[in-house]
C-alpha cells in the first residue's frame, strides 16, 4: 500500500474521478444536513449517542460477556478472534462445516478489513458480494472508495462497461441508466441467493442486553442474507456493542439521517439468535479484536471506537473530496479512516503512519459526526504518536532531524546567514515555475503533501544589510 | 489456552477479554448517566391529534416512494383486490394466518398460504405478497414486521417483487423511540421504509435492487 500522499497524487490527476466524487458527495452532504435539521433537538440526540457509545466502551468487557450470554441463550454461537487471521480461520472452518463452496456476503466493511474474501478463496470458497457497489468493486478487482457507496470512483458508464464484461446475463443492450443497472444486479444474483447455504454479514450494532444483531441497509441484499441461507455468520468488531435495546432508539435516528440522509434507512433488520421456522437454523457471531483493544488503551484515541460508520465525515472532508477514498488504503476511508486505520494496524508501516497527516484539521468532520468524535483532536494526538514512535528508531524522523539541525544553525548568526544564502541558491535550482514539488533527501517527506513556493533570490536579511548606508 | 478461558465457540475468548480489561485499566469511576433530552414523542409542530399523526404517516410513506391509501375496515377486501389487479398479479403468497376477510374479494388472483412453507423458487416466481404489520412509525413513514399475526416469516417479504402491507390506524406510533419501546427484540424484526433502493451508482438514489421493487401501504381507519 502506498503512502497517502503518493496515492492521493495519482487520484488528484484523475479528473474523471474527481468529478464523480464531487457530484455525489455534494448531494449526499445536502441530504444529510436536511435530514438532521428536520429533526428538532439533533444535538441532544448526538449527545446521547456519544454518551451511550462511551458507556459501551468503558465497560466493554462486561457488555461483551452479557452479549455472549444473550446470543447463546437465543440459540446462537459466539466465537472470539484476536486478529484478522484468526477470524478468517474461524469463518472458513464454519463454511467448510456447512459443506458450502460458495457464500453470499453483505454489509462488509469488517470482512474487508480482515481480508475474508481472499482467505475463503484460498480454501476454495467463492464469496459473492451482494450489494450493488460492493459487487462492482469485486467485479472490477478494485479497492472501495466510500463507506456507503464503495464504487463512488466509477461513473455509470464505467459500471455499465464492467457489468457488460462480467455478467453473463447482462446483454449488449444494457444502458447506463442506474435503474437498469440495478435490475441487472438483481437478475445476476437472484439464483445465488436462492441457492446459498451460507451467508456472511457484518453488523451495524450488537445489543448486549438482548443478543440482537442489527443491520441497516437499503437494497434488500442483507435481508436476503439474514433470511434465506441455512447458516448465518456475522463478523463484527467488539466495538459494535451497545448496552440496551432502548439505546437503539438513538442510533436508529442518528445513523440513517447522517449516512444516506434518509429519515429511516429503507431496511432495518434485527435478528436474535435462531427463530424456529423463520430464517437460518444456525447463527454464528464472530467477535473481532484486530487492534481495537490497542485503540481502547489510548484515552484520546479510543474515542474513534465510538464510530457508527455513517460516512458523514467523508462527505464534508475537503481532502477526501479531492483525493478520493482509495488513497486511504484498504481499511476505512476518509477522516475516520485517518484516525482508525493507524490505531487498528499500528504506525509501523510508512503508509499507516502517513494517515494522521491526511488532513488540514479544518474540523468539518467533528461538526457533523453523530457521536461527536473530535477527529482533528485525535489526528493531532496520533501525529504525536507517530513522531514519538520514530524517535526511538536508529534513523530519526525528518521532523526531528530538521529541528535538531535548525537549532544548531540558528544558534549562531553567522552560521544562519551562510545557511540562508546557500539554501536560497539550492532552492531556486529545485524550483520549477516558482514552486518546489519535492525537497531533497529526508526533507522530501515534508513536501509529500504540499508544494513550497521558491524563495526570493535574496533573503530579507541580505537585502537589509545591503541597503543600509 | 486453558479450558476455563474458552467459551463454547472457542477461539481467543480469554485473550480478547484480557486485552479489553488491560486497556481499560483497574479503577473505573462511576459512569455519568446518559443524557436523554431528545424528543420521545412528536412535537406539536408535527402533530397535535391522532388525525395529524395519520396524515404525517401518509405523507412520509409517500416521501419514501411507496404508494399509500386510506380505506375503511369494510372496504379493505375490495382495496386489496384492486391493488393486486392494478399490478396484474396472478399469484401471490400470504402468511398462513392472514385474516380471511382481507382476501375475500380476490377474483382471478391465486393466493398461496405459506403452510406448509412455500419453497424459495415459488417465492421468487409469485407476483407479490400481502401482509399486516406489528407497528408503524409516522415520523419516518416506516412499517415494522415482527413475524407475528398476519406477517409470516421474513422470507415472504424479502423475495417477491411487490409487497402490499395493511396497517391498522391504531398500530401507528409517532416516533422511533415509541416504536422501539413497543417492539420485542427477541422476535426477528424487519423495519421497512419504502421499496428497495441503492445509492451505489454515483450516490444517486435508485429504486429496486434485491428486495421488493414496489411497496404499497393500505391504512385501515376503524
Ligand atoms: S467518525 Fe463520526 S461522522 Fe465519521 S463515519 Fe464515524 S460516526 Fe460517522
Predicted local confidence at residue B74, as pLDDT: 94
- pTM for this model (two decimals): 0.86
For residue A70, which residues of chain B lie inside 8 Å, CB to CB? none
The answer to whether residue A344 sits within a structural domain is yes
Does residue A133's CB lie within 6 angstroms of at least one atom of ligand 1?
Answer: no
Put simply, the answer to whether A218 touches B210 (Cβ < 8 Å) is no
In this structure, the answer to whether residues A79 and A170 fall within a common structural domain is yes
φ/ψ region of A273 (left if φ > 0, alpha if ψ in -120 to 50, else beta) reads left
Of the residues A231, A256, A290, the one at which a domain ends: A290
Residue-wise burial string across A267-289, b where 16 or more C-beta atoms lie within 10 A, e elsewhere: bbbbbbbbbeebbbebbbbbbbb
d(CA A409, CA B136): 72
**A324 alpha carbon to ligand 1 midpoint, in Å?**
16
The answer to whether residue A10 sits within a structural domain is no
Of the residues A391, A411, A433, the one at which a domain ends: A391
The answer to whether residue A22 sits within a structural domain is no
Please give the domain boundaries of chain B with CATH numbers for all domains: 48-221 (3.40.50.10420)
The answer to whether residue A140 sits within a structural domain is yes
In this structure, the answer to whether residues A191 and A230 fall within a common structural domain is yes
The answer to whether residue A7 sits within a structural domain is no
Nearest CA to ligand 1 atom 8: A310
Nearest CA to ligand 1 atom 4: A313
Could you read off the pLDDT of A253-289 as tens digits, one per residue? 999 999 989 999 999 999 999 999 999 999 999 999 9
In this structure, the answer to whether residues A445 and A353 fall within a common structural domain is no
The answer to whether residue A34 sits within a structural domain is no
**A59 alpha carbon to ligand 1 midpoint, in Å?**
21
In this structure, the answer to whether residues A77 and A128 fall within a common structural domain is yes
In this structure, the answer to whether residues A185 and A323 fall within a common structural domain is no
The answer to whether residue A378 sits within a structural domain is yes
d(CA A369, CA A317): 12
Give the number of other CB atoms < 10 A from CB of residue A342. Answer: 29
Percent of chain A exceeding pLDDT 90 equals 44
In this structure, the answer to whether residues A218 and A110 fall within a common structural domain is yes
Could you read off the pLDDT of B59-94 as tens digits, one per residue? 999 999 999 999 999 999 999 999 999 999 999 999
Predicted local confidence at residue A154, as pLDDT: 80
Q: Which of A223-237, A261-275, A313-327, B109-123 has the lowest mean pLDDT?
A: A313-327
The answer to whether residue A108 sits within a structural domain is yes
Could you read off the pLDDT of A327-367 as tens digits, one per residue? 777 678 889 988 998 888 887 777 788 888 877 788 889 99
Structural domain containing residue A206: 39-290
Could you read off the pLDDT of A130-161 as tens digits, one per residue? 887 787 788 877 777 777 777 777 888 888 88
Question: Domain tally for chain A?
Answer: 3
Put simply, the answer to whether B188 touches A27 (Cβ < 8 Å) is no
Predicted local confidence at residue A460, as pLDDT: 77
Predicted local confidence at residue B3, as pLDDT: 37
**Residue A380 clears pLDDT 50, i.e. is over it:** yes
- Where residue B6 falls among pLDDT bands split at 50, 70, 90? very low
ipTM entry: 0.94
In this structure, the answer to whether residues A217 and A88 fall within a common structural domain is yes
Does residue A337's CB lie within 6 angstroms of at least one atom of ligand 1?
Answer: no
In this structure, the answer to whether residues A378 and A437 fall within a common structural domain is no
In this structure, the answer to whether residues A215 and A300 fall within a common structural domain is no
Put simply, the answer to whether B17 touches A252 (Cβ < 8 Å) is no
In this structure, the answer to whether residues A64 and A196 fall within a common structural domain is yes
Put simply, the answer to whether A245 touches B180 (Cβ < 8 Å) is yes
What average pLDDT score do residues A306-327 get? 85
Of the residues A367, A391, A415, the one at which a domain ends: A391
- Where residue A162 falls among pLDDT bands split at 50, 70, 90? confident
Q: Which of A158-172, A288-302, A404-418 has the lowest mean pLDDT?
A: A404-418
Does residue A232's CB lie within 6 angstroms of at least one atom of ligand 1?
Answer: no
Q: Which of B13-17, B103-107, B215-219 has the lowest mean pLDDT?
A: B103-107
Computed over every residue of chain A, the mean pLDDT equals 84
Could you read off the pLDDT of A97-139 as tens digits, one per residue? 999 999 999 977 899 899 999 999 999 999 988 887 787 788 8
What average pLDDT score do residues B180-207 get? 89
**Which chain B residue has the Cα nearest residue A290?**
B16
CATH number of domain containing A364? 1.10.1060.10
On the question of a cis peptide bond just before residue B116, with omega within 30 degrees of 0, the verdict is yes
Predicted local confidence at residue A17, as pLDDT: 60
In this structure, the answer to whether residues A139 and A185 fall within a common structural domain is yes
Amino acid at each position: 500500500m502506498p503512502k497517502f500522499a503518493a496515492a492521493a497524487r495519482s487520484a488528484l490527476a484523475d479528473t474523471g474521478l474527481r468529478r464523480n466524487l464531487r457530484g455525489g458527495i455534494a448531494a449526499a452532504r445536502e441530504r444529510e444536513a436536511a435530514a438532521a435539521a428536520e429533526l428538532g433537538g439533533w444535538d441532544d440526540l448526538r449527545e446521547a449517542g456519544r454518551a451511550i457509545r462511551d458507556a459501551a466502551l468503558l465497560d466493554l468487557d462486561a457488555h461483551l460477556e452479557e452479549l455472549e450470554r444473550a446470543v447463546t441463550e437465543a440459540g446462537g454461537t459466539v466465537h472470539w478472534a484476536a486478529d484478522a487471521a484468526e477470524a478468517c480461520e474461524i469463518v472458513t472452518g464454519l463454511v467448510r462445516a456447512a459443506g458450502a463452496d460458495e457464500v453470499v456476503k453483505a454489509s462488509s466493511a469488517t470482512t474487508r478489513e480482515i481480508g475474508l474474501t481472499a482467505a475463503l478463496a484460498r480454501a476454495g470458497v467463492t464469496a459473492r458480494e451482494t450489494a450493488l457497489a460492493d459487487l462492482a468493486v469485486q467485479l472490477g478487482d478494485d479497492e472501495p472508495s466510500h463507506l456507503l457507496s464503495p464504487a463512488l470512483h466509477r461513473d455509470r458508464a464505467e459500471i455499465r462497461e464492467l457489468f457488460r464484461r462480467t455478467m453473463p446475463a447482462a446483454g449488449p443492450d444494457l444502458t447506463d441508466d442506474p435503474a437498469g443497472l440495478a435490475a441487472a444486479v438483481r437478475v445476476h444474483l437472484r439464483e445465488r441467493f436462492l441457492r446459498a447455504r451460507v451467508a456472511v454479514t457484518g453488523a451495524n450494532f450488537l445489543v448486549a442486553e438482548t443478543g440482537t444483531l442489527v443491520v441497516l441497509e437499503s437494497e434488500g441484499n442483507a435481508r436476503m442474507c439474514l433470511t434465506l441461507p441455512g447458516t448465518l455468520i456475522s463478523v463484527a468488531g467488539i466495538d459494535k456493542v451497545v448496552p440496551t435495546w432502548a439505546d437503539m432508539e438513538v442510533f436508529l435516528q442518528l445513523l440513517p439521517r447522517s449516512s444516506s440522509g434518509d429519515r429511516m434507512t429503507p431496511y432495518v433488520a434485527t435478528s436474535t439468535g435462531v427463530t424456529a421456522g423463520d430464517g437460518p437454523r444456525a447463527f454464528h457471531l464472530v467477535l473481532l479484536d484486530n487492534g481495537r483493544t490497542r485503540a481502547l488503551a489510548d484515552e484520546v484515541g479510543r474515542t474513534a471506537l465510538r464510530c457508527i460508520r455513517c460516512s458523514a465525515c467523508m462527505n464534508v472532508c475537503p481532502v477526501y473530496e479531492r483525493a478520493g477514498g482509495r488513497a486511504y488504503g484498504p481499511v476505512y476511508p476518509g477522516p475516520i479512516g485517518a484516525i482508525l486505520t493507524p490505531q487498528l494496524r499500528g504506525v509501523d508501516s510508512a503508509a499507516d503512519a502517513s494517515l494522521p497527516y491526511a488532513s488540514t484539521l479544518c474540523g468539518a468532520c467533528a461538526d457533523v459526526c453523530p457521536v461527536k468524535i473530535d477527529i482533528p483532536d485525535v489526528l493531532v494526538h496520533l501525529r504525536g504518536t507517530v513522531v514519538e514512535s520514530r524517535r526511538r528508531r536508529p534513523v530519526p524522523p525528518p521532523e526531528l532531524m530538521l529541528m535538531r539541525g535548525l537549532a544548531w544553525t540558528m544558534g549562531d548568526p553567522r552560521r544562519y546567514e551562510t545557511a540562508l544564502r546557500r539554501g536560497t541558491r539550492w532552492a531556486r535550482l529545485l524550483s520549477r515555475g516558482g514552486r518546489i514539488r519535492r525537497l531533497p533527501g529526508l526533507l522530501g517527506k515534508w513536501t509529500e503533501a504540499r508544494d513550497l513556493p521558491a524563495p526570493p533570490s535574496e533573503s530579507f536579511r541580505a537585502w537589509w544589510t545591503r541597503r543600509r548606508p | 489456552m486453558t479450558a476455563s478461558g474458552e467459551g463454547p465457540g472457542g477461539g481467543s475468548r480469554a485473550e480478547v477479554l484480557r486485552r479489553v480489561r488491560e486497556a481499560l485499566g483497574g479503577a473505573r469511576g462511576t459512569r455519568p448517566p446518559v443524557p436523554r433530552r431528545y424528543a420521545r414523542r412528536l412535537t406539536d409542530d408535527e402533530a397535535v391529534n391522532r388525525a395529524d399523526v395519520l396524515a404525517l404517516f401518509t405523507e412520509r410513506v409517500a416521501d419514501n416512494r411507496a404508494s399509500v391509501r386510506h380505506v375503511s375496515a369494510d372496504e379493505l377486501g375490495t382495496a386489496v383486490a384492486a391493488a393486486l389487479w392494478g399490478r396484474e398479479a396472478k399469484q401471490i403468497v400470504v402468511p398462513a394466518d392472514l385474516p380471511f376477510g382481507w382476501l375475500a374479494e380476490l377474483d382471478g388472483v391465486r393466493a398461496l398460504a405459506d403452510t406448509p412453507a412455500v419453497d424459495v423458487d415459488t417465492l421468487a416466481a409469485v407476483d407479490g405478497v400481502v401482509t399486516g404489520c406489528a407497528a408503524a412509525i409516522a415520523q419516518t413513514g416506516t412499517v415494522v414486521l415482527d413475524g407475528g399475526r398476519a406477517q409470516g416469516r421474513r422470507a415472504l417479504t424479502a423475495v417477491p417483487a411487490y409487497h402490499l402491507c395493511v396497517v391498522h390506524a391504531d398500530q401507528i406510533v409517532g416516533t422511533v423511540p415509541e416504536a422501539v419501546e413497543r417492539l420485542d427484540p427477541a422476535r426477528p424484526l424487519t423495519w421497512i421504509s419504502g421499496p428497495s433502493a441503492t445509492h451505489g451508482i454515483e450516490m444517486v438514489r435508485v429504486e429496486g435492487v434485491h428486495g421488493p421493487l414496489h411497496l404499497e401501504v393500505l391504512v385501515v381507519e376503524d
